[in-house]
Amino acid sequence: MVLTMQKQKLFINGERLKNTLEEFADFGRTENNGVTRLALSEEDRKARDYFRSCCEELGMSVKVDDMGNMYATLEGVENDKPPVVIGSHLDSVKKGGRFDGVLGVLTGLEVVRTLVENNIKPQIPVVVANITNEEGARFEPSMMASGVLSGKFDKTTMMRKTDTQGITFEEALDSIGYAGEIKNRLKEAKAFLELHIEQGPILEKESLKIGVVECVVGMACYEIEVTGESDHAGTTPMPMRKDALFAANDLITEVRGKLSKLDSNLVYTIGRMDVSPNVHTVIPNKVVFSIEARHQDTEVIRQVEEIIQGLAQSPVQERCEVEAKKLWGRDTVWFDKEVVDSIEQSVKSLEYPYKKMVSGAGHDAQFIATYIPAGMIFVPSINGKSHAEDELTTWEDCEKGVNVMLETVLSMVTK
């Protein structure tokens, strides 16, 4: 029989993690214990400055690139090798929560603190990254800086984006002192790892502690335009009407019925509707509404699109014209299999209940995954809440998530 020596497991300091999360929640804390920390605001600057000082205290060197992304590097034995990067975002939406984004950045900080206090010098460098403007709440679009890093968005166009006050992204970046150099951009890495709150109810509902994220699901977004005719609501007999809203109502019932039969994992939303002229005495002559659907399988999305496009020929049109226009779509982004496996191994070794799952929401890691092997770890969101002041993940669950990150990083940076 061969006996293997069991390596002593390393754990992070949950109390320290909690305290640091509380400290960062002060940067933009709202009345109801939420956070408003819009990208490149004064609150964002304070959080960035404090993040920098925490990193420097650990002997890390901090660099900033031309999009304001911050990279704090803990040196390794072989510094010419590509690093392992742990990253997320410090910005929030208006009246957002204390966990979305910031938890992923502070996960990196806590992992490095644990390495340093245990005198573990990693074989390759470990970088903790704060990616600028993930939320897109002040400057659209969301995931702006990771989009530029991955070549998805054009930098010049992004620099000119304005907030509601007319301030450009470029001006805001300058004004908080975080316009860095293009040469500092994240170019290559062994892995990009992002820990994030789930932002959905699944983990909590299934009493699981960790989600090993396999992909960010693809989606298709359409706009349906129904054109009828406006007439007097009191004088026009029912059979002679071209009521665009009744038509839209029937179309929605039809599309819902068909989509509900496709796949139980499919999610679909009609989130926006404009009715014209929107006057109670006038028969509506135009209704425009959106339909978006998300699923990981390309084939399911293809069927969804077929159903939506078929609405134009639907018999339930109340004598109206129906047009289905595709606004945009995105393919499912699958995370790197080796990275996903190594996260799963880490969870198993810690014996936390987990499942492999998909992300229905977008994250920086999905853009970065197009050029760096990437993976994500989810921790439970109480009641599935996020982008809200009552967003909550228990301290114990945060701690478990960061332990998974530590274990994953150790598997990549130690021999």
Which residues bind to Zn ion, rule: CB under 5 A? 100-101
In the bound state, the residue with its beta carbon closest to Zn ion is 101
What are the structure tokens assigned to 108, written together? 């990196």
Nearer to Zn ion, 91 or 204 (CB): 91
CA gyration radius, the chain: 24
Question: What is the closest distance, in whole angstroms, from the C-beta atom of residue 228 to Zn ion in the complex?
Answer: 41
Could you tell me the smallest distance in angstroms from the CB atom of residue 88 to Zn ion? 6
- Of 101 and 375, nearer to Zn ion (C-beta) is 101
What length is written for the chain?
A: 415
Q: Min. distance of Cβ 326 from Zn ion in angstroms?
A: 27
CA 291 – CA 322 distance, rounded (Å):
14
> In which residue are the tokens 């880490």 written?
346
Listed in sequence order, the residues at least 6 apart from 216 whose beta carbon sits closer than 8 Å to its beta carbon are 332, 333, 358, 359, 361, 362, 363, 365, 366
Closer residue to Zn ion in complex, CB, 125/362 = 362
Tell me how far, at minimum, the Cβ of 297 lies from Zn ion, in Å: 25
Given the complex with Zn ion, which of 131 and 248 has the nearer CB atom? 131
- Helix 14-25 to helix 42-57 angle (10° resolution) is 150
Q: Which residue's CB is nearer to Zn ion, number 101 or number 211?
A: 101
Q: Taking the mean position of all CA atoms in its chain, how far away is CA 224? A: 27
Residue 105 CB, shortest distance to Zn ion, in Å, is 10
Of 101 and 380, nearer to Zn ion (C-beta) is: 101
Residue for token pair 């995954």: 369
C-beta of 84: minimal distance to Zn ion in Å?
A: 20
Residue 362, CB half-sphere, CA atoms under 13 Å: how many? 18
Burial class (CB in 10 A: 0-12, 13-18, 19+), 238: exposed
